[in-house]
Amino acid sequence: MFRFLNGLRLVVCCTIVGMVGLAHPVLAAPISILSYNIQNAITNLPVNPAALGFFGHTNSYTGTITDTGVQADTGFFGNGALVNYSGGTGTLIDGNISSGSQDNLFFTTSGTLSSDPGAGVQSVGLTITLFLDAFYTINTVEFYGANNPTSSIPGRLNGVDIEVQEGPVTGSESFSPTTPFGPLNSQGVPVNDRATFLGTAIDGLVTDRLILTNFSSTGNDIFTITEILADGIFVKGLPAPNQIVIFLAALGLIGVTRARTKTL
């Protein structure tokens, strides 16, 4: 009996090692986004980090906000300052799907820049970088524009380029148009958008971050995001939640076998 229990213990230990080192759980799961940076987000003038926002929209951020010194004239929506967000978390990943203009980022993709007014309307260089809690292959990325049926602004996002990166290995794909879904805005357009990686150039590539660039909009070069969600398959890093459950269960089984061994 003693030899049997020791053998069982060895099998369980090997199972634990195998599960903790497992590269691909069977099912995709929601991915935890730890933080994000934004380059060239538009905000009201004068810049006030305590109440970030533009055109009546406000958001929060725990990191550093730096004024680039460049202003963007959006035309109908007015003039704002371009700022950089770095090293923090906030509205885009706080788990709250807004139903209005609060907890909701207003973005512009283009404008007349104070640094080069003679060039006319041009891209502001908006870039959002999402930092994940481990390395994954990505299934989908979803952009929530706010469940606001009285506004035409949520739902204007219709394209984005997404880059994945693991060390020197990078890949990118243009999702244009994105796939709309969810509740409708005041114009009958779904307020959310989805980018699906299946069958694209970055399907199956491993990454611990998502770099979002080259955004496009259906009108006035503006759109809103209240939340970004992603799902995918865990590859490496901290154990995925389902692996942790199996690990703890196996540890419990080892404890039981030890207790029984002592009584024999």
Please tell me the distance from the alpha carbon of residue 48 to that of residue 52, in angstroms, as a whole number. 6
Residues 101-151: tens digit of each pLDDT: 999 999 999 999 999 999 999 999 999 999 999 999 999 999 999 999 999
pLDDT at 261: 56
Domain limits of the chain?
Answer: 1-21+239-264, 22-238
Low-confidence ranges of the chain (pLDDT < 50): 2-25, 243, 246
Please tell me the distance from the alpha carbon of residue 23 to that of residue 237, in angstroms, as a whole number. 10
One-letter amino acid of 170 = T
Tell me the pLDDT of the chain averaged across its residues: 86
Please tell me the distance from the alpha carbon of residue 141 to that of residue 231, in angstroms, as a whole number. 7
16, containing H or E segment: helix 2-20
Please tell me the distance from the alpha carbon of residue 171 to that of residue 150, in angstroms, as a whole number. 38
pLDDT at 258: 59
**Given 1.10.10.1100, 3.40.50.20, 2.60.120.380, 2.60.120.1190, which CATH number is that of 22-238?**
2.60.120.1190
Please tell me the distance from the alpha carbon of residue 150 to that of residue 217, in angstroms, as a whole number. 19
Q: Dihedral angle at the C-alpha atoms of 82, 88, 94, 99, nearest 10 degrees?
A: -10
pLDDT at 260: 60
158 near 217, Cβ under 8 Å? yes
- Token couple for 80: 């704002």
Residues 60-74: tens digit of each pLDDT: 999 999 999 999 999
pLDDT above 90 covers what percent of the chain? 71
